[in-house]
Amino acid sequence: MSQQQTGLTAPRRKDRTHYLYLAVIAAVGLGILVGLVAPDVAVQLKPLGAAFVALIKMMIQPVIFCTIVLGVGSVRSAAKVGKVGGLALGYFIVMSTVALGIGLVVGNILHPGSGLHLTKTAAAAGSGLAEGAHATTTDFLLGMIPTSMLSGLTSGEVLQTLLIALLVGFALQAMGGAGQPILQGVGHLQKLVFRVLSMIMWAAPVGAFGAMAAVVGETGVDALKSLAVLMLGFYITCAVFVFVILGTVLRITTGVNIFSLLRYLGREFLIIVSTSSSESALPRLIAKMEHAGIDRPTVGVVVPTGYSFNLDGTAIYLTMASLFIASAMGNPLSIGEQVSLLLFMMVASKGAAGVTGAGMATLAGGLSSHRPELLDGVGLIVGIDRFMSEARAVTNFAGNAVATLVVAGWTGGIDRGQLNRALSGEDPFDETSMVDDGHGQPAAVPAARTPERTAEPTPV
């Protein structure tokens, strides 16, 4: 007789992963020290950070596929998924516009590029970044369609995986009870994927050390000093957007305190800062949102879509960087030019989330298309882009976490009791399995020990 049948619950295994994240913090500090003391050696450590990020990205598409298939396939009405997707896209458009506006205001107030001089080396660096950055909207839309159904799961393109997973989820939904065995199989696959991910996370200290040592060794202190105004202005703008704008929206729509949410996601922010990529925390965001009582259809649609369409930090970066470059080259942009250029960049940046340096490539491509004479100025910020990339990634991540809660609040997809328990720490996240079998979400995959529940999916 099982423990559940006897009314007993298994004792929660002691969480030892806090040692892992203490090790990550120590590794970041050690990486900075090595970068300052032995920059030549530190640069050679870059593959360590790249390898860890590659391992995480390897897991993103399986995580997204399983989450969306389970979420969509477990609800009875396709209208539920359509409502979630429509509200999410509307929210993304509004918040991206707000982020652009804040960046414009701060950039026009600070004029951070005044007094800098463009060197031939910087000009050459800027020109090189524009190569391959010209992608039309048509190319972007066609790129969402994979060559084959299976290639969409291995291409590395999140939007292709999203499309295939939605199609499979809707197909299973239409199959009714006949699709339940497949949903069970996907549920077991999801548990396997998250277990592998939890194993990979133990390599985080090594990856954090290599990534931080390399960037400090390449950049040095001089570049940080010379461009401190732009960096500090960007950091402050991102902080205002997260704590004031997103915090207000979250409080009004769901009643949740932004600081409680950020504390709950603290380990994910540490990984992002260490790797400079919000994509490195995407699988964990999906798992943690489900643990917090957000239903699977909402998590499965909002989080992956937000990583391509809800780029609040990137929008702020593109705004301020464009104004910085124009000011530094003595050729400031008019208000009309600012709006036109940045709307173009907001569209061009879709699908590039999570890729370190993608923001700079988008910036270079936009300037090349609208104001070619400013393209060389991109080289001015090459030295500090890695540090700005961290702030971009953190802001993007916070924006997507808030978006998930907001959309779930609008659609009634929040288990309030579980959300309160998760945010307060009363029900801690299981770092070992990263999968919750319940917590207010539709029981997409009924347990094998209760065959009488496998006939129909549980309604949302």
Per CATH, the number for 19-442 is 1.10.3860.10
- Distance (Å, whole) CA 320 – CA 102: 9
Tokens representing 389 are 């990339």
CA dist., res. 322 & res. 413, Å (int): 39
Which tokens sit at 251? 């409080």
Packing angle of the helix pair 385-411, 228-240 (nearest 10 deg): 10
CA angle 385, 388, 392 (to 5 degrees): 125
The C-alpha atoms of residue 168 and residue 148 are separated, in whole angstroms, by 13
Asked if residues 341 and 104 have their Cβ atoms less than 8 Å apart, the reply is: no
Give buried/exposed letters for 301-337 (b at 16+ CB in 10 A, else e). Answer: bbbbbbbbbbbbbbbbbbbbbbbbbbbbbeebbeeee
Neighbouring CB atoms inside 10 A of 133's CB total 19
pLDDT the model gives residue 383: 59
Tokens at residue 203, please? 């390599």
Q: What is the Cα–Cα distance from 188 to 260, expressed in whole angstroms?
A: 31
C-alpha–C-alpha distance, residues 355 and 395, integer Å: 14
The one-digit pLDDT tens for each residue of the chain (460 residues) are 444 444 444 455 555 666 777 787 888 788 888 887 887 888 888 888 878 878 877 887 888 788 778 777 766 666 667 788 788 888 888 888 888 888 888 777 776 655 555 444 444 444 444 444 445 556 666 777 888 788 777 776 777 887 888 888 888 878 877 878 888 888 888 888 888 887 887 887 888 888 778 777 766 665 556 566 777 888 888 898 999 999 999 999 988 999 999 999 888 888 887 776 777 788 888 888 888 888 888 888 888 888 777 888 888 888 888 877 777 776 777 777 777 777 776 665 554 444 445 566 667 766 766 677 777 677 667 656 666 777 888 898 899 999 999 999 898 888 888 888 888 888 887 776 666 555 444 434 433 333 333 344 434 3
Question: With the C-alpha atoms ordered 322, 399, 258, 406, is the resulting torsion angle positive or negative?
Answer: positive
- Alpha-carbon torsion angle 23, 26, 27, 33, nearest 10: -170
DSSP code per residue over 348-390: HTTT-TT-TTHHHHHHHHHHHHH-GGGGGGGGGGGGGHHHHHH
Phi/psi region, residue 351 (left: phi>0; alpha: psi -120 to 50; beta: rest), is left
The structure's pTM equals 0.72
Cβ atoms of residues 171 and 72 within 8 Å? no
- Give the SS3 label for residue 50: helix
Q: Cβ(31)–Cβ(183) under 8 Å?
A: no
Instruction: Annotate 59-69 with b (16+ C-beta within 10 A) or e (fewer).
Output: bbbbbbbbbbb
In the block, tokens 């290639």 appear at 151
CA distance 371 to 380: 16
**Domain range summary for the chain, segments of one domain joined by +:** 19-442
Helical H segments across 256-372, by residue range = 258-264, 266-275, 282-291, 296-309, 312-328, 335-348, 358-370
**Tokens standing for 98?**
């707000």
Please report the DSSP string for 419-433 in residue order.
HHHHHHTSS---TTT
Contact assessment for residue 234 and residue 324, using Cβ atoms and an 8 Å cutoff: no
Nearest-angstrom CA–CA distance, 427 and 422: 5
Residues 173 and 150: their CA atoms lie apart, in Å, by 20
Amino acid in position 361: A
